[in-house]
Chains A and B, each alone.
Chain A
Amino acid sequence: MVAAYVVTAVIVVGYAVGLWRRAQRALRARGGR
């Protein structure tokens, strides 16, 4: 059970952070044009 709870947290937090960083990179690239 603990493994399922840890895996879920890692996937959703990891995806959210990754998405946020991709968006910030795209915004910076847009600003730099």
Chain B
Amino acid sequence: MTPADSARALVRRGAAVTVVALLALAGVYVLALAYTPVEARQGLAQKIFYLHVPAAWSALLAFSLVGICGGLYLWLNDRRLDRFAASSAEVGVAFGVVMLTTGPIWAKPIWGTWWTWDARLTLTLFLFFLFVGYLALRASLHDPSERARFSAVVGVLGLLLVPFIHLSVYLFRTLHPQPVVLKPSAPSLPPEMLRTLLVSALVFLVLFAGLVTIRYGLALLEEEREGGFDAA
């Protein structure tokens, strides 16, 4: 099987998974609007939770995978890890855009402001910029080996920010609510809300898998066009 055949198969498979995930996302919309109760204090604005939180989890997962694959690449020098890291970073930035647009739309009616420079929001914005920089760095380097090594280091540095972002709501005074699911004690949500959130998280995970698969196929084609990893 040539790289182009593999890429074609990956793009096709990824597209099928993505279409299923997008249809499932429409199902999440129905669940969120029709199945979950309207929260007493926040009203309809709280329903942004079912998109904002899974998008944030997926973005943080994507960025963490970039760092993990980057670290493994520096150790093992396996080009598949670099391709996966590049794919995960791009999809992570797309999910990051969802997180950073739905957040302010939710914040405005509840906090009375679109944005506040508190620890959680600021660190998340910096992480997003760091991975936009990661993609810009990749686009600016033409030697594939050099690009893989330099971007792996940036990915590992980005990974170091992720635990701070998760813990920032405990470490600093912040407007952002503390976790209601990813915490040591049991989730503090009514069952309908928790179920819808978990379904939405699963759908975002499948969407991530589909998009990364397409992007990985595209990375294979780009690599072949440049003449492979060893071309200087």
Q: Chain A: residues with CB nearer than 8 A to chain B? A: 1, 3-5, 7-9, 11-13, 15-16, 19-20, 22-24, 26-27, 29-31
Establish whether residues B214 and A1, one from each chain, have CB atoms under 8 Å apart when the complex forms.
no
Establish whether residues A19 and B214, one from each chain, have CB atoms under 8 Å apart when the complex forms.
yes
Q: Tell me the interface secondary structure of chain A in the complex.
A: helix
- Smallest CB-CB separation from B11: which chain A residue? A23
**27 A-B pairs with C-beta separation under 8 A:** A1-B47, A4-B48, A4-B102, A4-B106, A5-B29, A5-B48, A11-B98, A11-B101, A12-B25, A12-B94, A12-B98, A12-B207, A13-B22, A15-B91, A15-B94, A19-B218, A20-B11, A23-B218, A23-B221, A26-B7, A26-B218, A27-B4, A27-B7, A27-B221, A29-B221, A30-B221, A31-B4
- Smallest CB-CB separation from A31: which chain B residue? B4
Name the distance in Å between A1's Cβ and chain B's nearest Cβ: 5
The size class of the interface chain B forms with chain A is 35 or more
Question: Given A5-B51, A19-B211, A30-B221, are A11 and B11 neighbors across the interface (CB < 8 Å)?
Answer: no
Establish whether residues B102 and A16, one from each chain, have CB atoms under 8 Å apart when the complex forms.
no
Residues in A whose Cβ lies below 8 Å from that of B211: 15-16, 19
Establish whether residues A20 and B214, one from each chain, have CB atoms under 8 Å apart when the complex forms.
yes
**Taking each of A22, A23, A27, which has the highest tally of chain B beta carbons within 10 Å of its own beta carbon?**
A23
- Smallest CB-CB separation from B101: which chain A residue? A7
Residues in B whose Cβ lies below 8 Å from that of A3: 105
- Smallest CB-CB separation from A30: which chain B residue? B4
Cα separation A2 to B102 with both chains bound (whole Å): 10
Question: Given A8-B51, A8-B55, A12-B25, are A30 and B224 neighbors across the interface (CB < 8 Å)?
Answer: yes
Name the distance in Å between B105's Cβ and chain A's nearest Cβ: 4
- Smallest CB-CB separation from B217: which chain A residue? A23
Q: Give the residues from 91 to 107 in chain B that come closer than 8 angstroms, CB to CB, to chain A.
A: 91, 94, 97-98, 101-102, 105-106
Establish whether residues B221 and A16, one from each chain, have CB atoms under 8 Å apart when the complex forms.
no
- Smallest CB-CB separation from B214: which chain A residue? A19
Given contacts A12-B207, A13-B22, 17 further A-B pairs with CB under 8 A are A1-B45, A7-B102, A8-B102, A11-B98, A15-B211, A16-B18, A19-B214, A19-B215, A20-B11, A22-B218, A23-B11, A23-B217, A23-B218, A26-B7, A27-B7, A29-B221, A30-B4
- Smallest CB-CB separation from A27: which chain B residue? B8
- Smallest CB-CB separation from A16: which chain B residue? B18
Q: Give the residues from 194 to 232 in chain B that come closer than 8 angstroms, CB to CB, to chain A.
A: 207, 210-211, 214-215, 217-218, 221-222, 224-225
